[in-house]
Amino acid sequence: MISKFARVTVAVVFGLSLFALAQANPAAGAPAAATTPNAPSAAAVAAAKFNGTKIGTLAVEQAIAASNEGQRDLEALSKKFEPKQNELKGLNDEIDSLKKQLNAQQDKLNDESREKLVKQIEAKQKSFDRAAEDAKEDFQNQANEIESKILTKMAPIIQKYVVDNGYGLLLDTSQTWPRGAVILAGPAMDITQQIVEAYNVQSGVAPPPAGSAAQKPAAKPATTKPAVPATTAPKQ
């Protein structure tokens, strides 16, 4: 899922694009005598481009993930983390095995053996928790970098589509209400697919093969926390 940083990125990119439009005319800000009387400023021209009356919605996160480049790069990231996934799964299975052993034998174990096995499970679980959290954070950071890179390139395409098609307001529907700001929006207002198609054309990245894993959301490293089984109190 796209980070708050990426959400800020799109706003910054739009802001810089508008600023660039406003600065495109070097005469802007020059003495009045050097400009045509009553001529609108570059900033006013840029603002006028966004004076459409249509309202649209765009699921930014979904657009990034659905683009050919997004599918390719997020799938590559998922494959990169497969060894870590397998490592975490192996540790998880080992903890589960020890847990079953404790449940099956705890009535037959003496206090010392039981305590030793419990500490072994707890130590392995702590190791699992640290490794899983580190993997999750690493994966998310790299996914955010991919998403931010794509979003930076996608933002001008979004802006151009909005201007060319007379939109005066565009709402992000990546998050459903109440997490997102939009309560309801009809499908006719959504321009996500149009943006994805336009971005694919500009990026030149080929679509993934039909039925490939890239057409599915990239999996995050497993972070299932195996619970330490309940044990009876040590015998006195």
Query: What residue ranges do the domains of the chain occupy?
Result: 4-207
pLDDT for res 18: 38
pTM of the model: 0.69
Q: What is d(CA 61, CA 6) in angstroms, rounded to the nearest whole number?
A: 9
pLDDT for res 188: 94
Across 210-215, average pLDDT: 65
Q: Do residues 17 and 79 touch, judged by C-beta distance below 8 A? A: no
Q: What is d(CA 150, CA 195) in angstroms, rounded to the nearest whole number?
A: 12
- Residue 106 banded pLDDT, cuts 50, 70, 90: confident
Pair of tokens at residue 3: 């980070």
pLDDT for res 210: 78
Residue count (the chain): 236
| Alpha-carbon torsion (25, 31, 37, 40), positive or negative | positive
pLDDT for res 213: 63
Across 138-155, average pLDDT: 96
Q: What is d(CA 173, CA 185) in angstroms, rounded to the nearest whole number?
A: 9
Question: Is a pLDDT exceeding 90 seen at residue 51?
Answer: no
Q: What Cα–Cα distance (Å) separates residue 10 from each residue in 7, 15, 91, 136, 144?
A: 6, 8, 40, 24, 13
In the numeric block, the tokens 């009876």 are attached to 232
Q: What is d(CA 3, CA 137) in angstroms, rounded to the nearest whole number?
A: 12
pLDDT for res 209: 86
Pair of tokens at residue 127: 């190791």
pLDDT for res 49: 67
Q: What is d(CA 59, CA 68) in angstroms, rounded to the nearest whole number?
A: 16
pLDDT for res 152: 96
Q: What is d(CA 61, CA 170) in angstroms, rounded to the nearest whole number?
A: 14
% the chain with pLDDT above 90: 59
Identify which of 84, 23, 49 has the alpha carbon closest to the alpha carbon of residue 166. Answer: 49
Identify which of 75, 70, 68, 66 has the alpha carbon closest to the alpha carbon of residue 192. Answer: 66
Pair of tokens at residue 66: 């659905």
Q: Do residues 158 and 195 touch, judged by C-beta distance below 8 A? A: yes
Question: Is a pLDDT exceeding 60 seen at residue 124?
Answer: yes
Q: What is d(CA 53, CA 31) in angstroms, rounded to the nearest whole number?
A: 34
pLDDT for res 147: 96
Across 213-229, average pLDDT: 47
More confident residue, 37 or 151: 151
Across 91-112, average pLDDT: 91
Q: What is d(CA 1, CA 60) in angstroms, rounded to the nearest whole number?
A: 10
More confident residue, 160 or 22: 160
Question: Is a pLDDT exceeding 70 seen at residue 83?
Answer: yes
Question: Is a pLDDT exceeding 90 seen at residue 156?
Answer: yes
Q: Do residues 83 and 197 touch, judged by C-beta distance below 8 A? A: no
Q: Do residues 68 and 206 touch, judged by C-beta distance below 8 A? A: yes
Across 46-65, average pLDDT: 85
